[in-house]
């Protein structure tokens, strides 16, 4: 028998960048444990890491291309697949224009070194502006705020959680998510460390999450009212005459005008709508002002709603005026070894609104349109209609709003291609599926998540297992399609591919030209340090990294001021919708990240996690008992789901997780099919967006609830 060996790498399933120690023999994995020598995660890992082994060994996983025919799926060679794809894409673009081809990117692309480096030239080679991604279902408000306030969408402030004395978490559950726009393994341990050093953690959320349960205080808030809460706390800072810009005093524009605007939002004026007592709001603001260091972190609940843009803008404002921006223990900026802002010039003209979507006129930003408009761009006839599509590592039928509408749209396409490892709810509509290597067969470096990290570290992971000769890496697939589309001759032999530009060549160049290049940072240095290298804590650096033309923080971009009438209208609205009296919100699960993880037996075993949480008083009023099947309906569809009765959810609010619904025909994810659940996106409405950023408003969906008895058949509308 071959010897037992050890491989070190970062897990690339979620944002946390946990270091792993993998014992293996030949091509058999013996164990996956946290790497105690990793300077960032220090031995911590969450349960999802085991899915790396499951992806590698999954019998359902595709490894060679398949083509859909009238009689079913058939194998096709790589060369024939690439030839057909290029011919069909070119034919459609010749007949209907370049923008008749659309692109959709799922979230695994952000966790993939090769795709992170090769997607931009790939998209350029296709020549279409109709690009969409999962970013506009969860994080676009962060990028828009950074773009307009700081001059660059990727200049994201992250909580310095390891040094803060007071942490206010609005609509986030980082103990389960391991951060999310705040890369931080073992958030549970980091929060306990805040408390151990005498600090305080407060969670504001319509649900008592796992994070809320370990916090010092939890306050229920009505869904989609976070912007009013933030404004009220900002009002308190000005009202107390406690504005403190510290070292940013000469770098902040708009403070006087902000004071005038904030006067309109005293806690007493918003308390009724927010659902939090005015005195408690004042105490929150007072705690933030009084702490030696403090940070406000707003995440999914604050982003994926109709006021997501205002929420992320106001979160930045709150951190700035309390003196907790670009300062230890506050909201700070990583300085990653691979610096995505290295070539970003000050005053660079933003792409925001450069184009508007054809049907609904939603803004183009960061190289893409909001995914909420994808279905209508396919289904609405006329010039510019999307006729063909390529999806890459994404399953928007389950993950994007009005997923069933997307299924209808995909079915209507003239031609569709998917780069994916599974035949799933989205890829089943493709004409050809191109499966890429994944996880343990790929090298890895976290380009994006080092840019959101709570500490500056750096780590490279080589492939654990070499891919088979018949397999292709994602970046090789992208390069080949690009070459065919631009008529660039490419020798596809394995020898030639190894001689071409690879992710490692680009990575090494960026490391050497990055902020630590003069200290010897290089790919070789990372290979020589397989556990990773600790560069140090986050340091004040905004003066050097800010990208606005004036080199100043813009507190009051006009974009946000123009959106205030929409927010003010909330305080004039009548009572709840009589037809749909409940607010539906999402729920993060520690063992789930995207629909791929639902095909890991170890991650879905146990009791059904896809339930609807409902408050006991609401359940009693509706005659609903624990475990009973109930009907949840919105203006776009209905689902049947099991009831979970708990006082962890606010009265009038219900919650279910995202990423389920593996009960559709003609798919092949056999493990997921044993516990399919239902899709929350059969209820969410693609017409509900944050009109400021175009981000999907997945939270706060108005729904009706009723017991399932006496209902014989339910169908999605």
| 47: DSSP letter | G
Q: How do strand 19-25 and strand 4-10 relate by DSSP bridges?
A: antiparallel
Check residue 711 and give its pLDDT: 43
Scanning the structure block, which residue is given the tokens 């001059």?
151
| C-alpha 467: how far from chain center | 28
Residue 573's contacts (CB-CB under 8 Å, 6 or more residues apart) are none
Mapped onto helix, strand or coil, the DSSP state of residue 375 is: helix
Q: Would you state the pLDDT for residue 488?
A: 74
Q: Which helix (H) or strand (E) holds 56?
A: helix 51-57
pLDDT for res 710:
42
Residue ranges, the chain, pLDDT below 50:
493-495, 497-499, 710-717
What SS3 class is residue 283? helix
CA distances to 505, 568, 619 from 109, rounded to whole Å, are: 19, 38, 41
The answer for residues whose C-beta is within 8 angstroms of residue 93's C-beta and 6 or more apart is 100, 101, 127, 128
pLDDT of residue 605: 86
Q: Which pLDDT does position 49 carry in this prediction?
A: 92
Q: Give this prediction's pTM.
A: 0.96
**CB 694, CB 140: distance < 8 Å:** yes
Q: Taking the CB of residue 629, how many other CB atoms lie within 10 A of it? A: 15
**According to DSSP H, which parts of 97-167 are helical?**
113-126, 140-150
Q: At CA 352, angle to CA 347 and CA 353, rounded to 5?
A: 130
**Please, what is the Cα angle at 202 between 198 and 207, to 5 degrees?**
145
Say if residues 358 and 384 touch (Cβ distance below 8 Å). Answer: yes
Q: Is the dihedral of CA 17, 19, 25, 31 positive or negative?
A: negative
* Sequence-separated (6 or more) residues with CB below 8 Å from residue 640: 629, 630, 631, 632, 678, 708, 714
Task: Give the per-residue pLDDT at 593.
Answer: 85
Residues in the chain, overall count: 717
Classify the phi-psi angles of 703: left when phi > 0, otherwise alpha if psi is within -120 to 50, otherwise beta: beta
Domains in the chain, ordered, with CATH? 140-337+541-566 (3.40.228.10), 574-707 (2.40.40.20)
Question: Which parts of 597-707 are beta strand (E)?
Answer: 611-614, 629-633, 638-645, 653-655, 701-707
């Amino acid at each position: 028998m071959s010897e037992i060996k050890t491989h070190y790498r970062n897990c690339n399933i979620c944002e946390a960048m946990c270091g792993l120690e993998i014992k293996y023999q030949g091509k058999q994995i013996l164990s996956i444990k946290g790497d105690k020598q990793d300077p960032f995660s220090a031995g911590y890992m969450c349960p999802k890491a085991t899915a790396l082994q499951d992806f590698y060994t999954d019998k359902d996983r595709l490894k060679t291309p398949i083509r859909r025919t009238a009689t079913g799926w058939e194998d096709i060679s790589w060369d024939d697949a690439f030839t057909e794809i290029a011919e069909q894409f070119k034919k459609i673009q010749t007949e209907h224009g370049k923008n008749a081809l659309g692109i959709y990117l799922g979230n695994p692309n952000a966790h993939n070194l090769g795709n992170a480096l090769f997607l931009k030239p790939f998209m350029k080679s296709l020549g279409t502006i109709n690009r969409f991604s999962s970013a506009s279902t969860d994080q676009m408000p962060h990028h828009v705020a950074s773009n307009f306030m700081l001059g660059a969408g990727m200049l994201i402030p992250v909580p310095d959680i390891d040094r803060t004395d007071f942490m206010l978490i609005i609509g986030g559950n980082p103990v389960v998510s391991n951060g999310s726009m705040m890369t931080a393994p073992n958030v549970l341990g980091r929060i306990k460390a805040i408390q151990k050093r005498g600090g305080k953690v407060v969670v504001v959320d319509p649900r008592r999450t796992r994070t809320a349960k370990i916090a010092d205080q939890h306050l229920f808030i009505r869904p989609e009212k976070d912007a009013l809460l933030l404004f009220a706390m900002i009002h308190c800072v000005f009202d107390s005459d406690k504005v403190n810009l510290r070292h940013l005093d000469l770098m902040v524009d708009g403070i006087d005008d902000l004071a005038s605007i904030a006067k309109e939002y005293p806690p007493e004026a918003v308390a009724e709508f927010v659902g939090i007592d005015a005195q408690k709001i004042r105490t929150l603001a007072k705690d933030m002002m009084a702490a030696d260091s403090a940070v406000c972190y707003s995440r999914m609940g604050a982003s994926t709603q109709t006021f997501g843009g205002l929420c992320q803008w106001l979160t930045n404002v709150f951190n700035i005026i309390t003196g907790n921006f670009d300062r230890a223990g506050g909201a700070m900026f990583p300085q990653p070894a691979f610096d995505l802002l290295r070539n970003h010039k000050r005053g660079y003209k933003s792409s925001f609104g450069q184009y508007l979507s054809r049907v609904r006129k939603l803004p183009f930003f960061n190289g893409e349109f909001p995914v909420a408009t994808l279905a209508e761009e396919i289904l609405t006839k006329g010039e510019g209609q999307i006729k063909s599509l390529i999806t890459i590592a994404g399953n928007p039928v389950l993950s994007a709003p009005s997923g069933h509408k997307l299924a209808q749209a995909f079915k209507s396409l003239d031609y569709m291609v998917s780069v994916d490892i599974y035949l799933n709810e989205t890829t089943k509509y493709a004409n050809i599926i191109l499966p890429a290597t994944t996880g343990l067969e790929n090298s890895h470096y976290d380009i994006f998540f080092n840019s959101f990290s709570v500490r500056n570290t750096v780590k490279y992971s080589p492939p654990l297992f070499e891919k088979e000769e018949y397999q292709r890496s994602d970046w090789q697939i992208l390069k080949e399609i690009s070459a065919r589309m631009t008529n660039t001759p490419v020798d596809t032999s394995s020898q030639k591919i190894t001689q071409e530009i690879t992710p490692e060549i680009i990575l090494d160049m960026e490391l050497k030209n990055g902020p630590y290049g003069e200290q010897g940072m290089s790919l070789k240095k990372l290979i020589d340090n397989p556990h990773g290298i600790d560069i140090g804590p986050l340091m004040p650096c905004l003066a050097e990294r800010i990208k606005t033309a004036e080199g100043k923080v813009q507190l009051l971009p006009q974009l946000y001021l123009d959106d205030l009438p929409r927010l003010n209208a909330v305080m004039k609205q009548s009572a709840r919708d009589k037809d749909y009296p409940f607010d539906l919100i999402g729920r993060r699960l520690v063992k789930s990240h995207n629909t791929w993880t639902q095909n890991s037996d170890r991650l879905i075993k146990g009791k059904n996690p896809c339930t609807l949480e409902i408050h006991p008083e609401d359940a009693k009023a509706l005659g609903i008992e624990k475990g009973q099947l109930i009907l949840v309906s919105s203006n776009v569809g209905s689902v049947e789901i099991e009831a979970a009765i708990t006082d962890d959810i606010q009265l009038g609010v219900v919650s279910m997780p995202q990423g389920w619904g593996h009960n559709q025909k003609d798919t092949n994810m056999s493990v997921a099919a044993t516990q399919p659940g239902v899709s929350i996106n059969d209820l969410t409405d693609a017409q509900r967006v944050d009109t400021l950023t175009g981000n999907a408003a997945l939270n706060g969906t108005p729904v009706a609830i009723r017991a399932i008895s006496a209902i014989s058949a339910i169908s999605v509308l």
